Amino acid sequence: MEDVDKPTWLERLSALIMREPEDRESLVQLLHSAYRRNLLDADALSMIEGVIQVSEMPVRDIMIPRSQMQMIDIEATPAQMTAFAIETGHSRFPVYDGNKDNVIGILLAKDLLRYHAGEESSVRAMLRPAVFIPESKRLNVLLKDFRSNRNHMAIVVDEYGGVAGLVTIEDVLEQIVGEIEDEYDYEEAGDNIIRDKDGRFRVKATTEIQDFNAALGTQFSDEEYDTVGGLVLSLFGRLPKRGESVSADGVRFQILRADSRRLHSLLVERLQDQP
């Protein structure tokens, strides 16, 4: 009896997808079925799902909110700008004139070297044009624009033309390749505040201060900052790193997750009143 060649994994995957799913939910189910049959590994499944999600998600879902943006005032001295670039570690900065809704361009940190080397006489002349996009722009369209225009950053504006946040090409790509997960990740996207068994709270940095106050019984003002992340940044006076903590009004904020651009999550603890 002759041996029959076994179908390759690609042939088996093709046969599985030939069921012609009627919608994206059915397609995702088929992909998970392929994963369970060892036709896809976990990384491949995650990236394919990320590609599908990118075609559905608007910019507002992943943008760095205005309260966490690191911006430069055009009136600052070149020395101050350089010190700020070194402190934050970013390579690009939105530059505003007068107020933060008036973004006049993007400053590349490497261009400051040209200024200090005497190749440029004006920081304003070195600014790159800023790209403005609406909050509703789809991520797949934005990624295509980033690639075709060779831009790495876009300023997100709200319906009134004010600055709502910013987004980078790295932020979009993270939706596809994913981030490194740890024990502090949230199981559900909608859970902004989760209480631990020990009475502490895990809080997303994008949580609105009003919601934070309602959940913890605090009275932090939301006049200057809309989110808990913005509040914590103001308390530190800089972008903190994971593990750092700061206290205010009987509450301790510890950084659980943060990258080079923004805060992601915090561990919050109500401090007992001292006798």
Domain ranges of the chain: 60-177, 193-270
> Could you name the CATH architecture of 193-270?
2-Layer Sandwich (3.30)
Q: What pLDDT shows up at residue 101?
A: 93
Give me the helices (H) in the chain, please: 9-17, 24-36, 42-54, 78-88, 109-116, 123-126, 139-149, 169-177, 209-216, 228-236
User: Over its length of 275 residues, how does the chain's per-residue pLDDT go in tens digits?
Assistant: 445 566 666 666 565 555 555 666 777 777 777 777 777 776 677 777 777 777 778 998 888 888 888 899 999 999 999 998 888 778 899 999 999 999 999 999 999 988 888 887 788 989 999 999 999 999 989 999 998 988 899 999 998 889 999 999 888 887 777 553 444 444 444 468 888 767 889 898 889 999 999 999 999 998 888 899 999 999 998 888 777 899 999 999 998 877 666 788 899 998 874 44
Q: What pLDDT shows up at residue 208?
A: 92
Burial annotation 92-116 (CB, 10 A radius, 16+ → b, else e): bbbbbeeeeeebebbbbbebbeebe
Q: What pLDDT shows up at residue 211?
A: 92
Full-model pTM: 0.60
Q: What pLDDT shows up at residue 189?
A: 43
Q: What pLDDT shows up at residue 34?
A: 75
Domain over 60-177 is classified CATH 3.10.580.10 = yes
Residue in this structure with the two tokens 């390579």, named with its chain if needed: 91
Among 146, 144, 133, CA closest to 58: 133
Q: What pLDDT shows up at residue 6?
A: 61
